[in-house]
Amino acid sequence: MIVGFALLLRTGFPSASISPQEAARNIEKTLASLCSLRADFEQSYFSASLATPLVEKGTLFLQKPDRMRWEYREPERNVYVYKEGVSLAYFPEDNQIFRHTLSPEEKDWAVFSLLTGRAELIETYTIEAAEFPTDKKSSVQIKLIPLEEGELSYILIETDPRTWLLEKAVFLDWAGNKQEFRFSGFKLNPRFDAGVFELDVPPGCEIIDDLPPDKNR
């Protein structure tokens, strides 16, 4: 048991008895079973054009099948709401709201697909065990390599084997840019007020639309 625990701390994988594919199934099954989710997040963006990574923090609200709110608090307050195929982005400093219809690619945004449990990991990715820096004492780490060529080179995932919730997801694209999400403070299946997925338009706010006429309202 002592040797096994030491191996867990070193590799991030709980034991040889669970394969990366089984871990992926457990993550997907757990997230697919949820109706709603609330979590704190830290989002970091690394790029060759940036001297230091851009780090943002906030709260995520997710309601299946198609409602999501990313409420950024640091370093600036911004709000992104996705519902019923429409994206709304509110930038308080500029007093502007941008609205547009989500493209198929945006609807299949990788982190959204992962969080909703509809990513079809086994069918979409080659799944391997992974080892990358972590501050967790006990975690499972896997690497997802897309079977079809696209913008993403691979995805790294870290999860707690006691819950199988998505604690970290790292997306690396072919240009070498990296986007990292860390999730914590999970609340599972909370009941949200309908207003969570609405934007209160302040007086004088400029609304910039790219919606078809039947969706303009």
Which residues lie closer than 8 Å to 48 by C-beta, 6 or more apart? 176, 177
Distance CA 57, CA 73 (A): 6
Which residue from 152, 199, 200 is spatially nearest to 176, judged by alpha carbons? 152
Q: Is the pLDDT of residue 122 over 70?
A: yes
Residue 43's pLDDT is 96
**3 located within any domain:** no
Q: What is the mean pLDDT of residues 37-59?
A: 92
Residue 108's pLDDT is 75
Which residues lie closer than 8 Å to 195 by C-beta, 6 or more apart? none
Q: Is the pLDDT of residue 57 over 60?
A: yes
Write out pLDDT tens, residues 145-154.
Answer: 999 888 889 9
Of 9-13, 57-61, 176-180, the range with the lowest mean pLDDT is 9-13
Q: Is the pLDDT of residue 110 over 90?
A: no
What is the extent of the structural domain holding 63? Answer: 19-215
Residue 214's pLDDT is 53
**102 located within any domain:** yes
Query: What SS3 state is found at 46?
Result: strand
Residue 127's pLDDT is 96
**168 located within any domain:** yes
**9 located within any domain:** no
Q: How many CA atoms lie within 13 A of 112 on its CB side?
A: 19
Q: What is the mean pLDDT of residues 51-73?
A: 93
Distance CA 190, CA 200 (A): 22
Q: What is the mean pLDDT of residues 176-201?
A: 92
Which residue from 117, 79, 77 is spatially nearest to 99, judged by alpha carbons? 79
**1 located within any domain:** no
Give how many domains the chain has, as a whole number.
Answer: 1
Query: Euclidean distance between the first and final Cα of the chain, in Å?
Result: 62
Residue 20's pLDDT is 95
| CATH code, 30 | 2.50.20.10
**10 located within any domain:** no
Q: Looking at 84-215, list the stretches that DSSP marks H as alpha helix, in order from N- to C-terminal side.
A: 104-107, 110-116, 121-124
**86 located within any domain:** yes
**117 located within any domain:** yes
